[in-house]
A = this chain, B = another copy of it.
Amino acid sequence: MLLDTTFDPKSIIYLFDMIGIVACSVSGTILARSKNFDPMGCILVSMVTAIGGGTVRDVMLNRHPLFWMVDMNYLIVITITSLIFQAFFENSQRISPQTVDKWLKFTDTIGLSAFTLIGLKVALSYGANPLIATLLGIVTIIVGGMIRDMICNEIPLVLRKEIYISAGIAGALVFFGLQHLSLPSWVVEISTMLTVFCVRMLAIRYDWYLAPVHQWFNIMKK
């Protein structure tokens, strides 16, 4: 559906990126509110969640100025999202936490696909090899949520059950595989995002998780 049309893929990446930023802001605000953070604390945790991963990636690559210093939209979108959520959605009788959670998983996964692709592209443009680029793609995905959980004194969920890193690695494999076939860059990019999106959505839908390594051989034996 997406593949048989021509468009500026950059705009799609940017749109998906912003959807992910909004999702991260909401998840940061929810966790911060549950720990009784004040409004300013909630906004700060939202910022850490949304731009923490990209910031660590940029610092590791020595990429300055940082992406959110160049494009003001990030800080503005995060602040407005967090304030709106704190004002209207919290304690809302009309919208249940389950509905919020469902939408959050969907928008978060859209963001995940954009974050992975952006991480890969930024790392490659700074001369990283595929292994480093994949790692920096994963850093972009998970470090924000990890710092959020560290601030809020929780053990990061992204490292335990959720198919986050695996989805990112699947996306990276598709990216480098298709790039190797010299396909046009927008095909590579859309396919990468679709892969990340589908792997995580299927994992959520069918409750997939990665078995412990010492069970892999037993599973293969069966």
Q: B-contacting residues of A (Cβ < 8 Å)?
A: 32-33, 35-41, 44-45, 47, 55, 59-62, 64-66, 69, 72, 75, 83, 86-88, 90-91, 127-129, 131-132, 135, 138, 142, 146, 150-156, 158-161, 165-166, 169, 209-214, 216-217
A153 near B155: Cβ-Cβ < 8 Å: yes
B153 near A41: Cβ-Cβ < 8 Å: no
Q: Which residues of B contact A62 (CB under 8 A)?
A: 62, 64-65
Q: Which residues of B contact A55 (CB under 8 A)?
A: 60
What are 27 sample pairs from A and B whose C-beta atoms fall under 8 A apart? Answer: A32-B159, A33-B212, A36-B160, A37-B160, A38-B159, A38-B161, A39-B210, A40-B159, A40-B210, A41-B158, A41-B160, A44-B165, A45-B159, A55-B60, A59-B59, A59-B60, A61-B64, A61-B65, A62-B62, A62-B64, A62-B65, A65-B127, A72-B131, A87-B213, A90-B214, A151-B155, A153-B155
B75 near A160: Cβ-Cβ < 8 Å: no
A216 near B87: Cβ-Cβ < 8 Å: yes
